[in-house]
A = this chain, B = another copy of it.
C-alpha cells in the first residue's frame, strides 16, 4: 500500500523568514522532492502542528504505524529519504532500531498505531 511522506511546508523552524523567501519547511520539501524513493509519495501539508519542533515530517501508510519527526534541517534530507525508503519496505512501518537513520532515532516526536480495520 502507498506510503506517504508528509512535509510541513509552512514551518519556520523558529526562525524569522524574510518576506518573499521560502520558509525552512518549504525548502526542505523541495529538497526531498529531488529524491523521493520508489513506493513513496511526497505530500506537502500546511502545518503539522509541531511548530516548536520544526521542521517536521511524517511517514504514514494504511495499516502501518505513523511516525512524526521534528527538529529537521535541509542537511537531513538524504537521511530522511533513506529512512522513508526503509519505512516503505517494512510491513508495519516499524523499522528495526539499528537500521534507522540517526536523525530518526534522535528526533522522534510521536508515533501512532495503525487504526483497526474494524474501527
Chain A residues at the B interface, C-beta cutoff of 8 Å: 1-2, 4, 6, 41, 43, 45, 47-50, 53, 56, 58, 60-62, 66-68, 70, 108-113, 115-116, 119
Contact = CB atoms under 8 A, between A and B. Distances in A.
B60 A115 contact: yes
Contact of A113 (B45, B62, B112, B115): B45
Nearest to A59: B112
Given A41-B119, A61-B119, A119-B62, A50 B109 contact: yes
A97 to B, nearest CB: 12
A62 B114 CA distance: 10
Residue of A4, A68, A70 with most partner-chain B CB within 10 A: A68
